[in-house]
């Protein structure tokens, strides 16, 4: 269990409600956009806005947090501004206005999580391998809203989706004020952060992060629409999303044991092999519900194992005064650039390639990432034995 002195429940509560908002936006925002009459290409572009702001926002706020060493203040400001800017979504649903509103609220929303990841690791101190014990509450929050929305859509139209997002943003802002500040540990190395980034192992790590999340582009953008077109009802779609994240929760409960037992390199090998299989199953066997359940169980590795390993590597590579920006760079390259490019490609090619073509593209991304891991990533033994 997490050591005493760590504000476990306050950290966990923030994760729960932050990912409750993700549990609405990721599975269902594209469905809401479809209800407004937008085309597949426009949906792909709009959905890409959410991760695209991660290319800039986390790094800007990460620099401010590292400079001021006041991460929780940054998180609180970002949470409140997220709430206020999301209200713009309710004023107009025209394309230009939605682009502006989504750019604005996602700029603040995406700024908070990397800083909270760094804050959580600072609170954990030498027990960073127990990060997953805190983060699993975020997965539970995702499950609750993913299933809730699936059930609500049985009785209400898609206009309920932004209302639920708004509620989660209100609670996130409130929760951010309950978490105490924890300053990072000063580090003797004050060299520019570029000196860390240009190391081959770090460049390889960032490339792997980009490819993994790029492969998720078709899944995050069109999975719900795809299943709906295949005849699955909203309740079953919500259950499928929840099954994936439930598998992720189980892995988070085990990661503090799996990391020391198998090490980062072996876990990455298994993760990319299974994720490749997952995308091919979704692309070619989605008419078989049992195969879809199998694919969703692999989310334990596609996200759970991969994210835990990613957080560990980012924390190991970017130390001391680089911590905030290090987590921001990890977030920007994976959940930012990776998802944005994957979503844009999906929007451009969904009508031409269909699900089988785009999920085959996703499988190619993970195979390339597997090769990069094999060739370049040999993390220090201390990372895998914490």
Domain boundaries, the chain: 8-384
Statement: the pTM of the whole predicted model exceeds 0.85: no
**Would you give per-residue pLDDT tens digits along the chain (386 residues)?**
555 577 889 999 999 999 999 999 989 999 999 999 999 999 999 988 988 888 888 778 777 777 777 788 889 999 999 999 999 999 999 999 999 999 999 999 988 888 888 788 888 877 766 787 888 899 899 999 999 998 999 889 999 999 999 999 999 999 999 988 876 555 555 567 777 888 888 999 999 999 999 999 999 989 999 999 999 999 999 999 999 989 988 988 888 788 888 888 899 999 999 999 999 999 999 999 999 999 999 999 999 999 889 888 887 888 766 766 777 788 788 888 899 899 999 989 998 999 999 999 999 999 999 999 998 887 554 444 33
What whole-number distance in Å separates Cα of residue 68 and Cα of residue 6? 22
Residue pair 83/101 in contact (Cβ under 8 Å)? The answer is no
- For 8-384, CATH number out of 3.30.1380.20, 3.40.630.10, 3.40.50.300, 1.20.1250.20 equals 1.20.1250.20
Q: In residues, how long is the chain?
A: 386
């Amino acid at each position: 269990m997490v050591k005493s002195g760590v504000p476990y429940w306050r950290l966990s509560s923030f994760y729960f409600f932050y990912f409750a908002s993700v549990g609405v936006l990721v599975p269902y925002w594209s469905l809401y956009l479809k209800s407004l009459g937008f085309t597949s290409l426009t949906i792909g572009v709009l959905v890409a806005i959410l991760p695209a702001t991660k290319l800039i926002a986390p790094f800007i706020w990460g620099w401010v947090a590292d400079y001021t060493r006041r991460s929780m203040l940054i998180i609180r400001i970002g949470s409140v501004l997220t709430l206020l800017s999301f209200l713009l979504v309710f004023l107009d649903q025209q394309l230009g206005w939605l682009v502006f509103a989504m750019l604005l609220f996602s700029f603040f929303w995406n700024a908070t999580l990397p800083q909270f990841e760094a804050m959580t690791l600072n609170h954990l101190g030498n027990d960073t391998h127990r990060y997953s014990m805190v983060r699993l509450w975020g997965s539970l929050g995702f499950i609750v809203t993913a299933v809730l929305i699936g059930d609500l859509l049985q009785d209400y139209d898609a206009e309920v989706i932004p209302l639920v997002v708004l509620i989660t943003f209100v609670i996130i802002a409130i929760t951010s004020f309950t978490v105490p500040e924890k300053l990072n540990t000063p580090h003797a190395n004050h060299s520019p952060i570029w000196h860390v980034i240009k190391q081959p192992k770090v460049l390889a790590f960032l490339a792997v992060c980009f490819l993994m999340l790029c492969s998720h582009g078709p899944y995050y953008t069109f999975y719900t629409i795809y299943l709906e077109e295949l005849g699955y009802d909203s309740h079953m779609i919500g259950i499928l999303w929840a099954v994936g994240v439930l598998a992720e929760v189980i892995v988070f409960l085990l990661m503090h044991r799996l990391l020391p037992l198998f090490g980062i390199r072996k876990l990455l090998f298994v993760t990319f092999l299974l994720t490749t299989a997952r995308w091919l199953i979704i692309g070619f066997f989605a008419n078989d519900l049992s195969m879809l359940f199998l694919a969703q169980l692999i989310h334990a590795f596609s996200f759970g194992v991969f994210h835990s390993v990613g957080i560990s590597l980012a924390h190991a590579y970017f130390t001391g005064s680089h911590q905030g920006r290090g987590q921001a760079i990890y977030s920007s390259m994976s959940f930012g650039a990776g998802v944005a490019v994957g979503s844009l490609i999906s929007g451009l090619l969904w009508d031409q390639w269909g699900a089988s073509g785009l999920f085959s593209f996703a499988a190619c991304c993970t195979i390339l990432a597997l090769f990069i891991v094999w060739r370049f990533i040999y993390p220090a033994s201390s990372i895998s034995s914490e």
